[in-house]
Chains A and B, each alone.
Chain A
Amino acid sequence: MKLLTLNFLTCAIKSCKTSPASFPLHPRDAELEIVEADVNLAFLQNILPRLMWAELRTIASELGLPTLPEDIPEREALVEGRGEGEGEGEGGEQIPSQTAKDLHRVLLETCIQEGKLVCGNCGHEYAVKEGVANFLLPGHLV
């Protein structure tokens, strides 16, 4: 499971919906893996305003990843000039900057393969196996 997904995931239990502690889920005993993927600049630009940066930093430090910068990068910082293309402005392909590549590395290439996700509110543990998290709940918790 990508860290991007973890930045959107909350606890599924009904009584946790109202509690702010149900987001983010905290990874425990996580095994990480880097899955290479192509940088998709337009997607990063699209998803950037929706990220919860403070929570992403917390999770990165919990997983022992290198510390992320204090503030969320600007949208402009993702682009490093335009490539060779005819005409001005729209013509050339946008080239992703180092910031965009780093962000892509953290969000889309770093995956949790094995481990557990723990809710900060109720302490429910969701098992992650082969990158698939189990969110099936027993009937009394729905």
Chain B
Amino acid sequence: MSRPEDTLPPDLFYNDTESRKYTTSSRIQTIQATMTHRALSLLHLTTPSLILDIGCGSGLSGEILSLPSSSGTPGGPHTWIGLDISSSMLSIALEKDVTGDLFLADAGQGVPFRPGTFDAALSISAIQWLCNAETSEESPEGRLKRFFGGLYASLRRGGRAVCQFYPKNDAQKRMVSAAAVKAGFGAGLLEDDPGTKNAKTYLVLTVGGGELDGDITGVVRGLEGVDVVDQRRGGKGKGAKRGVEQKGSKAWIVRKKEQMERKGKVVKASSKYTGRKRRIAF
């Protein structure tokens, strides 16, 4: 199936018919609701908060955010502000009378809020659109840089962001997470049903650690059925090439001497001076 991102820019793709189809399809509604709940469990909100919804569309995830905590929204009801580039989507949101404030804005142009505004940010199936540039004036890297830079500034310290997106390939996945790390976020990718057709990728971002224990993997601690795969180079403990001694070191010399001894060669006895340099005495 062709990806909608490859056919048209988002503001043209989601026209009146396409927006209505998207919003009324019960299949998409269920998928969006599960993904929003998953993102909320990663955000770990305990009190009613101010949340930014990037690519809010017709407010499918916003409706869940404004539910009280008794209806399954942790810490709710939250107050949210939504950004979307498609005016058709926003007009459907207006018809539905959503409680959040809506903005017609392109996330690739930045996030126009003052520093430290939001407790959390959420984005469901949106940021893969940032990987496309429609004019020669802009580039995917530039759009991602402005988006993550603006998002990093507008979140409060200790805040979190969860962006679910559909990467086209591994290169795109790397490009998005590298842009987030460059903006200053602590970033990790969570994949649900990896390797299947309905794989879902969540980019989990943290600002300034805060209550987080350890690194980004602390976000998923306590979640069921999550394996941590650490692909960072030089992580603590397993770095420094454990078990391989350096050539010329005392351990290496002792090992070589034992080797020679086993072969029956005559080897000088080892002492505390073995492997030391002969320094010039005078």
What residues make up the interface of A, taking CB atoms closer than 8 Å to B?
1-2, 4-5, 8-12, 14, 23, 37, 40, 42-43, 46-47, 50, 52, 108, 130-137, 139-140, 142
Whether A132 touches B48, Cβ cut-off 8 Å, given contacts A9-B112, A108-B79, is no
C-alpha spacing A42/B78, complex, angstroms:
10
What residues of chain A lie closer than 8 Å to B137, measured between beta carbons? 139-140
C-alpha spacing A66/B169, complex, angstroms:
56
Stretch touching chain A among B26-34, B95-103, B170-178, B192-200? B95-103
What residues of chain A lie closer than 8 Å to B78, measured between beta carbons? 43
Give 21 pairs: A residue, B residue, CB < 8 Å, sorted on A.
A2-B101, A8-B81, A8-B113, A9-B114, A10-B113, A10-B114, A40-B79, A43-B78, A43-B79, A50-B156, A108-B79, A130-B94, A132-B102, A132-B104, A133-B103, A134-B104, A136-B85, A136-B104, A136-B109, A139-B135, A142-B146
What residues of chain B lie closer than 8 Å to A50, measured between beta carbons? 50, 116-117, 156
Answer whether residue B106 sits at the interface, using C-beta atoms and an 8 A cutoff. Answer: yes
Please state if B138 and A136 are interface contacts (CB–CB under 8 Å). no
Least CB separation from B154: chain A residue: A8
Chain A min CB distance to B252 (Å): 57
Least CB separation from B137: chain A residue: A139
Q: Given A14-B110, A133-B103, A136-B106, 20 more contacts at CB 8 Å?
A: A1-B101, A8-B113, A8-B117, A10-B113, A12-B110, A23-B114, A37-B99, A40-B48, A43-B77, A50-B117, A50-B156, A132-B103, A132-B104, A133-B104, A134-B103, A135-B105, A135-B112, A136-B85, A139-B135, A142-B109
What residues of chain B lie closer than 8 Å to A40, measured between beta carbons? 48, 77, 79
What residues of chain A lie closer than 8 Å to B135, measured between beta carbons? 139
Whether A136 touches B49, Cβ cut-off 8 Å, given contacts A12-B110, A37-B99, is no
C-alpha spacing A132/B112, complex, angstroms:
14
Please state if B50 and A9 are interface contacts (CB–CB under 8 Å). no
Answer whether residue B119 sits at the interface, using C-beta atoms and an 8 A cutoff. Answer: yes
C-alpha spacing A46/B120, complex, angstroms:
13
Chain A min CB distance to B96 (Å): 13
C-alpha spacing A23/B116, complex, angstroms:
14
C-alpha spacing A139/B104, complex, angstroms:
15
Q: Give the contacting residue for A142; candidates B81, B83, B114, B138; CB below 8 A.
A: B138
Whether A139 touches B138, Cβ cut-off 8 Å, given contacts A8-B117, A23-B114, A131-B101, is yes
Please state if A137 and B109 are interface contacts (CB–CB under 8 Å). yes
Chain A min CB distance to B103 (Å): 5
C-alpha spacing A11/B138, complex, angstroms:
20
Please state if B90 and A132 are interface contacts (CB–CB under 8 Å). yes
C-alpha spacing A37/B103, complex, angstroms:
20
Least CB separation from A43: chain B residue: B48
Chain A min CB distance to B264 (Å): 77
C-alpha spacing A9/B137, complex, angstroms:
26
C-alpha spacing A108/B103, complex, angstroms:
16
Please state if A132 and B94 are interface contacts (CB–CB under 8 Å). yes
Please state if B117 and A135 are interface contacts (CB–CB under 8 Å). no
Q: Give the contacting residue for B114; candidates A8, A46, A130; CB below 8 A.
A: A8
Whether A42 touches B48, Cβ cut-off 8 Å, given contacts A10-B113, A10-B114, A136-B85, is yes
Answer whether residue B274 sits at the interface, using C-beta atoms and an 8 A cutoff. Answer: no
Please state if A42 and B79 are interface contacts (CB–CB under 8 Å). no
Q: Which 4 A-B pairs have the closest CB atoms?
A: A43-B48, A135-B105, A12-B112, A8-B117
Whether A43 touches B49, Cβ cut-off 8 Å, given contacts A130-B94, A133-B104, A136-B106, is yes
Interface centre among B47, B50, B78, B109 (most CB of A within 10 A): B109
Interface centre among B79, B90, B112 (most CB of A within 10 A): B112
C-alpha spacing A11/B112, complex, angstroms:
6
Chain A min CB distance to B128 (Å): 20
